[in-house]
Amino acid sequence: MNKIQRVLIVGGTHGNELTGVYLVQRFEQQPHLVQRPSFDTRTLLSNQAAIAAGVRYVDQDMNRCCDRQSLATPTPAAYEVARAQEISRHFGTTGSTPADVILDLHSTTANMGLTLILDDHHPFKLQLAAALSAQQPALRVYSSANSGRQQDALRSLGRFGFCLEVGPVAQGVLEADLFHRTEALVLQTLDYLDRLNQDTPTTAPHPLTLYQYLGTVPYPKDSKGRLQAMIHPQLQGQDYQPLHPGDPMFLSLTGETIAYAGEDPVFPVFINEAAYYEKDIAMVLTRPQQIEVETWVEPESEARTCR
């Protein structure tokens, strides 16, 4: 029995992140690109109202409203919650056409390059991340396992959820190089899943570097909540690079440097992400960890037949 029977490729969870929107449209126009012999591939434009309006979301962030409480709301007032419930009814683990793998495509204004986000360290996810890293040396793998994100993101609706972040690209803008690099990574993911289903050797187990979530850093503000500093120019664009104690972190509006006051080096990501201003997140701090990834064999208790 195939381990993976249905894959869902999602774009437009944030309506102004056009890489995912137009990639899904491309795949819908040329479905042969994403179909594989051993499983069914579906595509979805998730936040259709936000896509039409050219905004991140209409009522609330769709990538924060797929938790159990939101999905159980009897008559949701927010468009995104109602839409999440609809998607769950179709592609959730108990839905009419459940997805074994959800690959949610996002873009960021931060200098993240190609980043694969894992919300937990399930052996299957680590194995896929290691295989893709072997093919794409520039790929970074960010683990949000300690952030609590595994319960509310759209990708959590599937059996195995992954997020692909690419950047830097401005909101509402298509950037050709990142578009094609994202497409290549999506196709490599599908090829890997197809080989795995057919028990074809993929890549030998090898070390994987995970950038582990440590916490977030807010912007310096005054007592009225007004911004008092910006990302220091020496830090801008330095995602995945070490930030040492005493290194410049912020530059105040009056020209004063605010240094990083931690005791150990950290590796910031999502630096100066435009969408995170409303969340008061100036950057996310991580620390790299190298782990050994072994080949995963699915135990019977985890097997599930999709309907």
Q: What is the pLDDT of residues 202-220, one digit of tens each?
A: 655 578 999 999 999 999 9
Interval 43-56: pLDDT, tens: 999 999 999 999 99
HSE at residue 102, side-chain half, CA atoms within 13 A, is 30
Pairing of strands 229-231, 248-252: antiparallel
pTM of the model: 0.94
Q: What is the pLDDT of residue 1?
A: 41
* Contact status, residue 10 vs residue 23, Cβ threshold 8 Å: no
The DSSP-derived string for 69-128 is HHHT-SS-SSHHHHHHHHHHHHHSTTSSS--SEEEEEEE-SSS-EEEEEESS--HHHHHH
Interval 48-97: pLDDT, tens: 999 999 999 999 999 999 999 999 999 999 999 999 999 999 999 999 99
* Contact status, residue 151 vs residue 161, Cβ threshold 8 Å: no
Burial level of 164, CB count in 10 A (0-12/13-18/19+)?
Answer: buried
Q: What is the pLDDT of residue 94?
A: 94
- CA torsion 54-58-60-62 (nearest 10°) is -60
Q: Alpha carbon of 53 to those of 154, 187, 279: distances in Å?
A: 20, 29, 21
* Contact status, residue 187 vs residue 262, Cβ threshold 8 Å: no
Q: In what order do the strands lie in the sheet with 248-252?
A: 229-231, 248-252, 257-259
How far apart are alpha carbons 37 and 52 in whole angstroms?
Answer: 34
How far apart are alpha carbons 165 and 117 in whole angstroms?
Answer: 7
Tokens standing for residue 270: 């999502």
Residue 263, C-beta contacts closer than 8 angstroms, at least 6 positions apart: 245
Interval 284-305: pLDDT, tens: 999 999 998 876 556 555 544 4
Interval 216-262: pLDDT, tens: 999 999 999 999 999 999 999 999 999 999 999 999 999 999 999 99
Q: What is the pLDDT of residue 78?
A: 97
Q: Alpha carbon of 171 to those of 75, 106, 273: distances in Å?
A: 31, 11, 10
> Which domains, and CATH codes, for the chain?
6-209+292-299 (3.40.630.10)
pLDDT band with cut points at 50, 70 and 90 for residue 3? confident
How far apart are alpha carbons 254 and 242 in whole angstroms?
Answer: 26
Interval 102-116: pLDDT, tens: 999 999 999 999 999
Tokens standing for residue 237: 């664009």
* Contact status, residue 101 vs residue 41, Cβ threshold 8 Å: no
* Contact status, residue 152 vs residue 68, Cβ threshold 8 Å: no
